[in-house]
Amino acid sequence: MLDTSQSVATPEGVDLALVPAGAVPRATAFAIDLFIRGLIIGALAALLGILGKLGQGLFLLILFLVEWFYPVAFEVLGKGATPGKRSVGLCVVESDGRPVGFAASIIRNLLRTADFLPFLFGFGILFMLFHPRFQRLGDLAAGTLVVWAATPLKAPELPSAPVCAPGLKLRLAEQKALIAFAERSPRLSDSRQAELADILEPLTQARGTEGVTRLHGMARWLAGER
C-alpha cells in the first residue's frame, strides 16, 4: 500500500504525521485561487477604469499586490491555507510541521516564476512527481510542505439522558466500551439496547429501558458532562 505520510519530531518531543499533497489536488487548489484572483482583478478593472490614467496606475499597483501577495497573506494569516487550498483540504507548513512564516511564504511564492518554466509549471510538476514529499522548487528553497490538513475531531453525539456517574470504578477499556454503546444506540433496536443493558445490571442497578437510560447518562458523564 502506498503511504506518503511523513513523521516529524517536534522540539517538544511530539511526533507529527504529515501527509504531503500531490500534484492533482494542488493544481485544483491553484485553479480555484486563480479564478478568485481573476474575479478580484476583473472587479477592480471595472471600478478603476472610470478614473482614467490614475485608475490605470492604481490598477497596475493593485494587480501586482494581488498576484504576488494574495497567497502570502492567506498562508500567513489564514493558518497556511488560501481559499483554494482550504476548499480542497490542504495547507502549507514548514518542513518541521510548524505554521508557515512570512519569510518562507514570500520565498515559495516568489519562486512560482521558476516553477512555471518552461511552460505551465513544467519544472514545478516535474520536481513534485519525483520528490518523495511532492515539493516544488519554491518549497525546497523555502523549506515548506503542502500537506493535507488534519480533520478536527468532533465530540461524540450521545443520546439525551440524565447525566450520572458510574457507581463502580471502570477501567479505560470499559469506559470506552460504555461510550461506544451510547454512540451506537441510535442504530440498535430498543430490544437489543435493553438486552445489552441487562448484562450491566450490576453497574446500573436497573433493567430494560431504565438500564439503557442510565448507561446513556453514565456515557455522557464519562464524555465530560457534569
Q: pLDDT band for position 2 (50/70/90)?
A: very low
Position 9, amino acid: A
Q: 217 or 8: whose pLDDT is higher?
A: 217
For cell 430494560, the residue is 208
Q: Is the bond preceding residue 118 a cis peptide, omega within 30 degrees?
A: yes
Domain boundaries, the chain: 6-148, 154-226
> Is the Cα dihedral 149, 144, 88, 41 positive or negative?
positive
Q: Is the pLDDT of residue 119 over 70?
A: yes
First to last CA, the chain: 44
| Cα–Cα distance measured from residue 201 to residue 207, given in angstroms and rounded to the nearest whole number | 6
State the pTM of this model.
Answer: 0.66
Q: Where are the beta strands (DSSP E) in the chain?
A: 6-9, 15-18, 90-94, 144-148
Q: Is the pLDDT of residue 193 over 70?
A: yes
- Cell (9 digits) for 220: 455522557
Mean pLDDT confidence for 153-157: 67
The closest alpha carbon to 71, from 89, 85, 87, 90, belongs to: 85
> What integer pLDDT is reported at residue 150 of this predicted model?
75
* Residue % of the chain over a pLDDT of 90: 45
> What integer pLDDT is reported at residue 1 of this predicted model?
38
